[in-house]
Amino acid sequence: MTSLTAKREAEPGFWLSRQYNRLTLKQRRTLMGYLFIMPFILGFLIWWLGPAMVAGYLTVHKWNFLSAPRFIGLAHFEKLVSDPILAQSLKVTIVFSAISVPLGLVFAFFLASLINSKFRFIAIFRTIYFLPSIVPAVANAILWAWLFNTEFGLINYIIRAFGGPKIGWLQDPNWVMLAFVILTVWGVGGSMIIFLAGLQGIPQIFYEAAEIDGAGRWQRLIHVTLPMMSPIIFFNLVIGFINSFQVFVSALLITDGGPQRATLFLVLHIWRTAFSSQKMGYASVLSWLLFAILMLLSFFVFRYIGSRVYYENPGE
Amino acid sequence: MGFSEKPDNFIEAGRSAKSRAETFFHWLTLFLLLFFAVVMITPFLWLLSSSLKTQINIFQFPPQLIPDPFMPQNYVYALTYKPFGLYFRNTLIVAGLNVLAVVFTSSLCAYGFARMRFPGRDFWFGIVMATLFLPYAVLLVPSFIIFSRLGWVDTFLPLVVPPFFGGGAFNIFLMRQFFRTIPEEIADAARIDGCSEFGVYWRIMLPLSKPALITIAIFTFLFAWNDLIGPMTYLRSPDNFTIAVGLASFRSQTDIHWDLQLAASTAVTLPVIALFFLAQRYFIQGVVMTGLKG
């Protein structure tokens, strides 16, 4: 018997359970809590903080992957402010974001109001409107490259059928941005469904009350629907901005950044700097720049738009 | 919005004018619904039609709407020109491991955030939310450097290992929101019966959360199926390609063979659409769960 107890005491599991029994209830709860969220904490340290530090180190080094990294001080940052390609890339990304996000938001809201109406086969319409947003990105890029084809594409065919000109959607730097906005707005189904869920969550009684007060269709929209929807509009706005800064697949596959760098979106520029030109240091600087832009944008969106959002149950 | 409602009695006077306006809006809505349905569906029909044309007929103006001759062989050519079967297998491996990782680790973390009380919890949840607003693209370059140091380039590891660490902020957030809707009393009853905290998570919460778990599983699968930037960065040898990289490289090699490119694109899209029809309610559910508490 005694030898068995001694043997058990020597096991690490026994030692652990004895240590655990010594803890207070609060300490046990804390320990269990951290055990539950441990995967995330480890993941954050390894896959977020680690890379961020590597990127920080490389911002002051020149490195082409083959030779050893060479310290160059702030030279990358000097290049940053005088780089015409970067300026172009930023311009493209910001213009695209400024056009496609508000337009996509309005269009998604409009479609959501349409499919929120009571018709017999409304479920079919909801499905049709949502389908474009689940097409795989690469297939989507090929599809739109074909739709926008200058000679044989469907879009130019329709325009010419109505007597319009032949537009070089993907060859003309002035038109290509519009082409990207159109294909983005076509795939707006995700935020449309979020809006639909929000619209269905507005208690009908508010509309009835507004109607008794003599509010028309337009006034009900302005004074009931929009205030009630403001948290959801805000959510879609934030997500929309973040997504608009990540355009990559369509820019790579449809136009490869062209014509004349008119679709050289920031992520594509970073990717090329790192993996085509092997400039790891400068690509790290650009990554930090993208990070800074997104943080700044989030800050302004939360500060100036988030404060106008109406929450029915604050603190939830 | 409320077309069917009967007007109240005391506004009876304006009834005929009002109902005329209602009828007008009814038809306007129906017209707009149909119009945008056509706008949304036409690209798909055009894709399907073009993918079934001959190489000569595809370059015809004005275009043929119904392909003649009808070329289903395009699909055979396209899918055997490159080893799409192999790409399919690779994609299933990557996507399957991602789904497994996300379902388990994101629900585990979410349980900690939703149901445990401990110092530092809100701080770490703040970090979860912060990473939600930071796209993957920001970390692409430095992560690549780390993975290449680990010798993981040209393996599936960079694509399948990170999801095991928390499974992504979006999924943690979604699972946390769902867990919070489950009454705490159920968990308390189990605790009184001697169930450990992990037991509560594993035997009570997970079985009750099937709809949310299926939702995140579907989103994760779709993401892995569609992702190009990750596989394109890490996978080098064609034998390791996923469907997305395979299709992208197919495009760059076949140049003007639009018939084949479009056939391959249709073939890659069809499984996703099939999945959508099978699991339609989970798509909507997932979006609803995230949207409402945004």
Looking at every residue in chain A, the average pLDDT score rounds to 86
Question: Where is pLDDT greater, at A7 or A277?
Answer: A277
pLDDT at residue B71 is higher than 80: yes
Is 90 exceeded by the pLDDT of residue B22? no
Residue A61: beta bridge partners? A71
The reported pLDDT for the residue numbered B291 is 52
A116 shares a domain with A43: no
- At A75 the pLDDT is 81
Query: What per-residue confidence (pLDDT) applies to B2?
Result: 43
B182 phi, psi to nearest 5 deg: -85, 130
Residue A41 lies in a domain: yes
- Asked whether the predicted pLDDT for residue B224 surpasses 70, the reply is yes
Is B135–A294 a contact, with Cβ atoms under 8 angstroms apart? yes
Whether residue B87 is predicted with pLDDT greater than 90 in this model: the reply is yes
For residue B234, the model assigns a pLDDT of 93
Mean pLDDT value across residues B232-238: 91
Q: Look at residue B4 in the predicted model and tell me its pLDDT.
A: 45
Angle at A192 between CA A202 and CA B215, to 5 degrees: 90
The confidence score (pLDDT) of residue B119 equals 92
With 80 as the cut, is the pLDDT of residue B284 above it? no
pLDDT of residue B287: 67
User: Cβ–Cβ of B117/A144 closer than 8 Å?
Assistant: no
Inside any domain, residue A66:
no
- Between residues B134 and A186, which one has the greater pLDDT? A186
User: How far apart are the CA of B109 and the nearest CA of chain A, in angstroms?
Assistant: 4
CA distance B18 to chain A (A): 10
Asked if A41 reaches chain B (Cβ–Cβ under 8 Å), the answer is yes
Chain B contact probe: residue of A48, A62, A192 with most B CBs at under 10 A: A48
Give me the mean pLDDT over the A159-165 stretch.
89
Same domain? For A125 and A32 the reply is no
* Model pLDDT, residue B156: 94
- % of chain A beyond a pLDDT of 70: 95
Distance (Å) from the alpha carbon of B172 to chain A's nearest alpha carbon = 9
Say if A119 falls within a structural domain. Answer: yes
Average the pLDDT over B180-202 and give the result: 88
Torsion, CA A244, CA B165, CA B241, CA A180, rounded to 10: 0
**Residue A4, pLDDT score:** 60
Domain of A21 in residue numbering reads as 2-59
Work out the average pLDDT over B165-185.
87
Is B272–A134 a contact, with Cβ atoms under 8 angstroms apart? yes
Mean pLDDT of B227-251: 91
Confirm whether A125 is domain-assigned. yes
Mean pLDDT, chain B, rounded, equals 85
Do A100 and A246 sit in the same domain of this protein?
yes
Question: What pTM value is reported for the model?
Answer: 0.85
Q: Indicate if the pLDDT at residue B289 is higher than 80.
A: no
Residues A179 and A251 in one domain: yes
Determine contact, residues B166/A47, Cβ cutoff 8 Å.
no
Q: Are residues A97 and A14 in the same domain?
A: no
pLDDT, residue B15, reads 61
Assess whether A41 and A178 both reside in one domain: no
At the top level of CATH, which class does the domain B76-292 belong to? Answer: mainly alpha
Q: Domain check: are A146 and A283 in the same one?
A: yes
Q: Which residue of A has its CA nearest to B267?
A: A139
Per-residue pLDDT at A203: 87
Looking at residue B294, what is its pLDDT? 37
Residue A235 has pLDDT above 50, yes or no: yes
pLDDT band per the 50, 70, 90 thresholds, residue B14? low
A190 touches chain B (CB under 8 A): yes
Domain membership flag for residue A218? yes
Q: Write out chain A residues lying below 8 Å of B43, CB-based.
A: 132, 143-144, 147, 154, 186
Q: Which of A14-18, A235-239, B82-86 has the lowest mean pLDDT?
A: A14-18
Shortest CA distance from B35: residue in chain A:
A125
Instruction: Average the pLDDT over B184-192 and give the result.
Output: 88
| Cα separation, B223 vs B135, whole angstroms | 14
Q: By the CB < 8 Å criterion, does A132 face chain B? A: yes
Same domain, A82 and A53: no
Question: In this predicted structure, which of A178-182, B35-39, B82-86, B277-281 has the lowest mean pLDDT?
Answer: B277-281
What was the pLDDT predicted at A185?
A: 93
Name the domain count of chain A: 2
Q: From the list B50, B112, B244, which residue is nearest A33 (CB)?
A: B112
Three-class HEC string of chain A: CHHHHHHHHHCHHHHHHHHHHHCCHHHHHHHHHHHHHHHHHHHHHHHHHHHHHHHHHHHCEECCCCCCCEECCCHHHHHHHHCHHHHHHHHHHHHHHHHHHHHHHHHHHHHHHHHCCCCCCHHHHHHHHHHHHHCCHHHHHHHHHHHCCCCCCHHHHHHHHCCCCCCCCCCCHHHHHHHHHHHHHHCCHHHHHHHHHHHHCCCHHHHHHHHHCCCCHHHHHHHHHHHHHHHHHHHHHHHHHHHHCCCCHHHHHHHCCCCCCCCCCHHHHHHHHHHCCCCHHHHHHHHHHHHHHHHHHHHHHHHHHHHHCCCCCCCC
Task: Please tell me whether residues A211 and A156 are part of one structural domain.
Answer: yes
pLDDT given for residue A38 in this prediction: 94
Does some domain include residue A68? no
CATH number, domain containing residue A189 = 1.10.3720.10
A90 shares a domain with A31: no
Instruction: Answer yes or no: is pLDDT of A71 > 90.
Output: no
**pLDDT-based confidence at B181, cuts 50/70/90?**
confident
Mutate to test the interface with A, among B29, B87, B145, B227 (most CBs of A within 10 A): B145
Q: Give the pLDDT band of residue A298 (cuts 50, 70, 90).
A: confident
Do residues A147 and A236 both lie within one domain?
Answer: yes
**Would you say residue A72 lies in a domain?**
no
Residue A65 belongs to some domain of the structure: no
Share of chain A above pLDDT 90, in %: 28
Exposed, middle or buried by CB within 10 Å (0-12, 13-18, 19+), for A291? middle
Task: Quickly state the pLDDT bin for B8 (edges 50, 70, 90).
Answer: low
Does the CB of B60 have a partner CB in chain A at under 8 Å? yes
A52 and A146 within one domain: no
Give per-residue pLDDT as tens, A113-160: 999 988 888 888 988 998 998 899 999 999 999 999 888 888 999 999
Q: Which residue has the higher pLDDT, A17 or B195?
A: B195
ipTM for this model: 0.85
The band of B125, judged by pLDDT with boundaries at 50, 70 and 90, is very high
| Mean pLDDT on A42-54 | 90
pLDDT recorded at residue A6? 63
A76-103 confidence digits (pLDDT tens): 888 888 888 999 999 999 999 999 999 9
